[in-house]
Amino acid sequence: MVSAPVDKTTKKHIDADTRRRMLVAAALRVMKREGIAAATTRAICAEAGMPHGAFHYCFRSKQELYAALLATDINITLDVEWPAVDPRAEPVENLRTLLRSWWSAVETDPEAQLVLSELVNLALRDPELGELPAWGHRTYLDKAVSRVDHFAAEARLHLTIDTRAFAEMVVAALGGVIDSWLSHRDATTAVETLDGFAGLFATLTRPVPDDRDHPPG
Residues that bind a copy of itself (CB under 8 A): 34-35, 37, 114, 117-118, 120-122, 124-125, 133-134, 136-138, 161, 165, 168-169, 171-177, 179-180, 182-185, 189, 192-193, 196-197, 200-201, 203-204
When the beta carbons of 51 and 209 are compared against DNA, the nearer one is 51
149: left (phi over 0), alpha (psi -120 to 50) or beta: alpha
**Binding pattern for the stretch 26-45 against DNA, x by CB under 7 A and - elsewhere:** ------------x-xxxx--
Count of residues in contact with DNA, rule CB under 7 A: 27
Q: Which of 133, 80, 111, 131 is nearest to 182 (CA)?
A: 111
Q: Which of 164, 140, 136 is nearest to 152 (CA)?
A: 164
Binning the chain into helix, strand and coil, the percentages to the nearest 5 are 65, 5, 30
Cβ neighbours for 81, distance < 8 A, ≥ 6 positions apart? 101
When the beta carbons of 61 and 121 are compared against a copy of itself, the nearer one is 121
CB of 109 to DNA, least distance (A): 24
Contact footprint for DNA (CB under 7 A) = 1-3, 6, 11-16, 19, 38, 40-43, 50-54, 56-57, 60-63
